[in-house]
Amino acid sequence: MDILSSAFGEFQLSRFPRRRKDQLRAWDAADEYILQHLSENEAINEHSKVLIVNDQFGALAVSLNQFHPESISDSWLAHAGTKENQTDNQISQEDITLHTSLNYPKQIFDIVLIKVPKSLAMLEDQLIRLKPLLTRESTIIAGAMTKAIHTSTLKLFEKIIGPTKTSLAKKKARLIFPTIDESLNITDSPYPSTYKLEGTQYQISNHAAVFSRDSLDIGTRFFLQYLPATDKYETIVDLGCGNGVVGLVAAEKNPKAVINFVDESFMAVDSAKINFIHAFGPERTAIFTPTDCLQGLAKNSFDLVLNNPPFHQQNVVGDFIAQQMFHESYAVLKKGGELWVIGNRHLGYHISLKKIFGNCITVASNKKFIILRATK
């Protein structure tokens, strides 16, 4: 557990979920830069109403807990990490108010701190949603590592919020200072966006944070061709569901099955819910769960898990999420239950699946992707 030191105190912080021998910190230089700027410029006081956006594991909210901040995130993991770090630092859960990306507060804020997201679509959606919460007296400080701030990033701030300046780089981080221009017209967010799922009549709705929100990605397209259709599956999990296309097609092919849509993104799970209800109506039963991988799902309860593992958690790339998904899939599957996985051929998922399940067969493959099946 690492110590974040700033003018606001010292705090023990960890990433979430906690992994043994994790060498990664729960904050970055941009978090430190934001806190330093706040303290040196006396931009915050005991009366300030503070809003934080995209706080990864609560580094900003925990550091500023004395000001009772409100925090918005699309990440279930970010919420869970914030709560864990509050507990470790003996901070009351009531001192920080957490909001999902679909449930913005309504009040005016004096200070808004934004960790700039990788997705321009997400940033656009967030700035449009934030604009009504600001006045000319409000202070906005956005921050990110320098490599994540582009001309297009600054143009979005200028288009939606107002004239924008940046700081000098420090430890490869940079701050953004937009000035609120109340004369700028606030347009409605262009999200959710929609597209027609090829070969079907389904209109697929996608919130701003959803992966491949403009069209079907090539990996999923390949996966859909081989999804099983049989009466033996009564309970199916679309793990890392995104907009729910995999679970949607699985529901069509397995009309008696109950589909569980699971993702750590609140926007992803809501997109999947919109799409499922639009396709099948409220009569068809499905379950929609924002969580970390399969946390909270009953052990030995499911017939089939469908999974296209992500390569990264926030800005960290690796196979650790895939490994967690494989292990937790084994735990929630009934005896005889199956995990179907699609991945790039070079990732070697078959090795891990054989170690965990004791077996693994190839369902289909092409030059880029491979679909694997492991049975408990």
- Return the HEC string of the chain: CEEEEECCEEEEECCCCCCCCCCCCCCCHHHHHHHHHHHHCCCCCCCCCEEEECCCCCHHHHHCHHHCCEEEECEHHHHHHHHHHHHHCCCCHHHCEEEECCCCCCCCCCEEEEECCCCHHHHHHHHHHHHHHCCCCCEEEEEEEHHHCCHHHHHHHHHHCCCEEECCCECCEEEEEECCCCCCCCCCCCCCEEEECCCCCCEEEECCCCCCCCCCCHHHHHHHHCCCCCCCCCEEEEECCCCCHHHHHHHHHCCCCEEEEEECEHHHHHHHHHHHHHHHCCCCCEEEEECCCCCCCCCCCEEEEEECCCCEECCEECCHHHHHHHHHHHHHEEEEEEEEEEEEHHHCHHHHHHHHHCCCEEEEECCCEEEEEEEC
In tens, the pLDDT along 277-334 reads 999 998 999 999 999 999 999 999 999 999 999 864 455 445 889 999 999 999 999 9
Confidence (pLDDT) at 311: 62
**Strands 203-206 vs 193-196: parallel, antiparallel or unpaired:** antiparallel
What residue segments make up the domains of the chain, in order of their start? 2-178, 193-375
Taking residues 225-229, report their average pLDDT.
96
167 exposure class (CB count in 10 Å sphere: 0-12, 13-18, 19+)? middle
Give the C-alpha separation, 98 to 86, whole Å: 12
**Residue-level pLDDT at 316:** 46
Residue type, 202: Y
* Contacting residues for 325 by C-beta, under 8 A, at least 6 apart: 239, 240, 293, 294, 307, 309
Tokens 């000001």 belong to residue: 67
At the fourth CATH level, which superfamily is domain 193-375? Vaccinia Virus protein VP39 (3.40.50.150)
- How many other C-beta atoms lie within 10 A of the C-beta of residue 258? 17
Q: Give the pLDDT mean for 105-110.
A: 96
pTM summary value: 0.94
Provide the mean pLDDT of the chain: 94
Q: Do domains 2-178 and 193-375 have the same CATH topology?
A: yes
Q: What is the mean pLDDT of residues 51-65?
A: 97
Of 14-28, 76-90, 362-376, which range is least confident?
Answer: 14-28
Q: Which of 203, 26, 239, 53 is nearest to 129 (CA)?
A: 53
Percent of the chain with pLDDT over 70: 97
Q: Please name the amino acid found at residue 339.
A: L
CB-based burial label for 55 (10 Å; 0-12, 13-18, 19+): buried
First to last CA, the chain: 36
pLDDT tens, residue by residue, 133-166: 999 999 999 999 999 999 999 999 999 999 999 9
Tell me the per-residue pLDDT of 244-269, one tens digit each, with 9 for 90 and over: 999 999 999 999 999 999 999 999 99
Q: Which fold has domain 2-178?
A: Rossmann fold (3.40.50)
222 has pLDDT over 70: yes
- Residue 264 is encoded by which pair of tokens? 């750590």
* Backbone phi, psi, residue 285, to 5°: -80, 135
Q: Is 228 exposed, middle or buried (0-12, 13-18, 19+ CB in 10 A)?
A: middle
